[in-house]
Homo-oligomer: A and B are copies of this chain.
Amino acid sequence: MKLLIVGANGTIGKAVVEEMKDTAEIIQASRSNSTIQVDITSTASIQHMFEEVGEIDALVCTAGAAHFGTVEELTPELNRIAVESKLLGQVNLVLLGLPYIRDKGSITLITGILMDDPIVKGASSAMANGGVRAFVTSSAIELPRGIRINSVSPNMLEESKEKYGPFFEGYEPVPAQRVALAFRKSILGAQTGQSYTAY
Contacts and interface: CB of A to CB of B under 8 A. Distances in A.
- Which secondary structure dominates chain A's binding surface? helix
Contacts of A71: 94-95, 98, 139, 142-143
Copies held by the complex:
2
A22 to B, nearest CB: 32
A72 B80 CA distance: 25
Interface string A65-107: 0000011101110011001000110011011101000000000
Interface residues of A, number: 48
Given A122-B138, A126-B138, A128-B131, A95 B83 contact: no
Contacts of A116: 137
A53 interface: no
Contacts of A12: none
A181 interface: no
Nearest to A149: B71
Of A115, A119, A127, most buried by chain B (CB within 10 Å of CB) is A127
A188 interface: no
A133 interface: yes
B120 A126 contact: no
